[in-house]
């Protein structure tokens, strides 16, 4: 499906509003099955259009996460819709995964590439941009392991990067086109944008992480699931897990590495770099 069709779909933000999540998932799965069995190219294009229409609300929702960064929301919706089209074209339904497990990181990656390539006032080096992506991917992992937001030094140690480079990457957000905090908002214009900014609730990002990781963790062996729960939910140390299972700490370390590799392969690298 081309970008012209994507523009038409993104102009109708309510296209998927009538689909409950379960219905959307079932309809999408059914349409991909129809697509795999179809031989007519025109019919295949029509099925792709239907899949995009059913899931356009997901793309718009992802686009709205990046509002107030100096880009118009309708432009972000356009980019997110193109990401959805790429996800539809690239999805392998034969693997048995839910479409959104593949689509969400694909769409988010497209929006982030848009910011990286087009929305800098002062453009950081490509290395700093890539480092910022790696930092975004590991921050939630460290937060779960440590029980608090990791410091720049802890991120640098985890990634094996220089602290100065990590600090520069963390400051890179200020290079986006800024929106003045003094802009008056509301019907009466009595408040400034800065006065209405609330705190960021980390649970929003965790909801997506949990929803995407859940099916993958469910496919792990029972003892591997137990290790994941003890390490990242119960906040046990590797030594505590080893004592509970009657094995060595080194064995737990190796199993955690294997488990993380399994999850990484299942979800794809894009999810781990998603912010």
Query: What are the b/e assignments for 47-67, b being 16+ CB within 10 Å?
Result: bbbbbbebbbbbbbebbeebe
Q: Which range marks the domain in which residue 236 is found?
A: 203-272
CATH code at position 23: 1.20.120.1810
Residues 99 and 144 in one domain: no
Give the pLDDT confidence score for residue 143 in this predicted structure: 80
Residues 111 and 178 in one domain: no
Among residues 100, 118, 136, the one where a domain terminates is 118
Give the pLDDT confidence score for residue 33 in this predicted structure: 92
Residues 191 and 225 in one domain: no
CA distance linking residue 173 with residue 191, whole number of Å: 25
Residues 51 and 109 in one domain: yes
Give tens-digit pLDDT for 238-259. Answer: 999 999 999 999 999 999 989 8
Give the pLDDT confidence score for residue 145 in this predicted structure: 79
Among residues 161, 196, 231, the one where a domain terminates is 196
Give the pLDDT confidence score for residue 270 in this predicted structure: 40
Residues 172 and 244 in one domain: no
Residues 189 and 259 in one domain: no
59-82 average pLDDT score: 83
Give the pLDDT confidence score for residue 31 in this predicted structure: 92
Residues 67 and 100 in one domain: yes
CA distance linking residue 45 with residue 49, whole number of Å: 6
CA distance linking residue 33 with residue 27, whole number of Å: 10
Residues 104 and 40 in one domain: yes
Give the pLDDT confidence score for residue 134 in this predicted structure: 81
Question: At 98, is the pLDDT very low, low, confident or very high (cuts 50, 70, 90)?
Answer: confident
Residues 241 and 134 in one domain: no
Give the pLDDT confidence score for residue 15 in this predicted structure: 45
102-115 average pLDDT score: 85
- Percentage of the chain lying above the pLDDT 90 cut: 18
Residues 34 and 79 in one domain: yes
CA distance linking residue 116 with residue 173, whole number of Å: 10
Residues 9 and 111 in one domain: yes
Residues 9 and 114 in one domain: yes
CATH code at position 171: 1.10.10.10
Angle between helices 99-118 and 73-90 (to 10 degrees): 130
Instruction: Domain count for the chain, please give it.
Output: 3
pLDDT at 274 over 90: no
Among residues 178, 196, 214, the one where a domain terminates is 196
Question: At 17, is the pLDDT very low, low, confident or very high (cuts 50, 70, 90)?
Answer: very low
């Amino acid at each position: 499906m081309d970008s012209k069709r994507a523009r038409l779909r993104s102009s109708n933000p309510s296209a998927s509003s009538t689909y409950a999540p379960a219905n959307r998932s079932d309809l999408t799965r059914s349409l991909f099955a129809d697509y795999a069995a179809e031989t007519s190219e025109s019919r295949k294009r029509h099925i792709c259009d239907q899949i995009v229409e059913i899931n356009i609300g997901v793309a718009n929702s992802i686009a709205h996460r990046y509002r107030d960064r100096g880009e118009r929301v309708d432009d972000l919706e356009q980019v997110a819709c193109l990401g959805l089209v790429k996800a539809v074209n690239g999805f392998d339904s034969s693997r048995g995964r839910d479409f959104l497990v593949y689509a969400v990181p694909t769409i988010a990656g497209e929006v982030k590439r848009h910011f990286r390539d087009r929305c800098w006032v002062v453009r950081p080096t490509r290395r700093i941009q890539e480092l910022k992506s790696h930092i975004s991917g590991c921050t939630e992992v460290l937060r779960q392991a440590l029980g608090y937001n990791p410091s720049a030094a802890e991120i640098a140690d985890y990634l094996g990067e220089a602290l100065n480079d990590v600090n520069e990457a963390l400051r890179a957000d200020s290079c986006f086109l800024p929106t003045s905090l003094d802009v008056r908002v509301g019907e009466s214009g009595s408040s400034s944008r800065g006065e209405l900014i609330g705190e960021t609730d980390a649970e929003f990002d965790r909801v997506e992480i949990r929803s995407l990781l859940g099916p993958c963790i469910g496919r792990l062996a029972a003892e591997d699931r137990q290790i994941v729960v003890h390490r990242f939910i119960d906040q046990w140390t590797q030594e505590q897990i080893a004592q509970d299972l009657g094995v060595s700490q080194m064995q737990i370390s190796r199993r955690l590495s294997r488990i993380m590799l399994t999850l990484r392969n299942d979800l794809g690298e894009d999810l781990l770099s998603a912010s």
